[in-house]
């Protein structure tokens, strides 16, 4: 049984926040998801983190400059891809949520291994889960997830 945890390097992340953020998404031809939900677009996804506050994932997306509302900032989250069919067992080692209930293209902000993360199911393909966290925790989360692989594999056997 193989649990492949890969680092995602081909996904640009930007945070769009402030008055007019929803209108800026519409001008860019991007979806506007409901609060604490995500919606797919051609090259990634948009997640609503709160009122007029969005995480935009994808490449070459025309968004406004950071000089005026809405403000647009580049994010440098560490992002890992997990195989969907085994991700719930892997993440169960560190997360209290039953991820089997996460919809196919679901979005969840939670804690894994005592750090804040976001989870996006089906972000690249229907068979994966993305786990993102502050870049300063990249090595810690990577090591924690890899450390859980033997336990998850034993549970699957």
Contact 92, 82 (CB under 8 A): no
Angstrom distance (rounded) from CA 18 to CA 63: 13
Residue 16's pLDDT band, with cuts at 50, 70 and 90, is very high
- Look up residue 39 and give its two tokens: 């919606």
Give the other-Cβ count within 10 Å of 18's Cβ. Answer: 15
Q: What is the pLDDT of residues 72-129, one digit of tens each?
A: 899 999 999 987 677 777 788 888 877 777 776 788 999 999 999 999 887 555 568 8
- Give the global pTM: 0.84
């Amino acid at each position: 049984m193989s649990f492949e945890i890969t680092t995602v390097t081909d996904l640009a992340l930007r945070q769009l926040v402030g008055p007019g953020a929803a209108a800026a998404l519409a001008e860019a031809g991007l979806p506007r998801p409901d609060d604490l939900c995500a919606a797919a677009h051609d090259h990634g996804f948009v997640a609503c983190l709160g009122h007029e506050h969005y995480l935009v994932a994808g490449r070459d997306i025309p968004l406004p400059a950071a000089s005026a509302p809405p403000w647009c900032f580049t994010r440098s989250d560490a992002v890992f891809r997990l195989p969907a069919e085994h991700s719930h067992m892997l993440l169960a080692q560190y997360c209290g949520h039953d991820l089997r209930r996460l919809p196919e293209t679901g979005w969840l902000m939670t804690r894994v291994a005592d750090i804040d993360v976001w989870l996006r199911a089906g972000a690249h393909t229907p068979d994966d889960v993305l786990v993102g966290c502050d870049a300063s925790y990249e090595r810690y989360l990577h090591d924690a997830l890899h450390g859980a692989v033997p336990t998850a594999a034993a549970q699957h056997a």
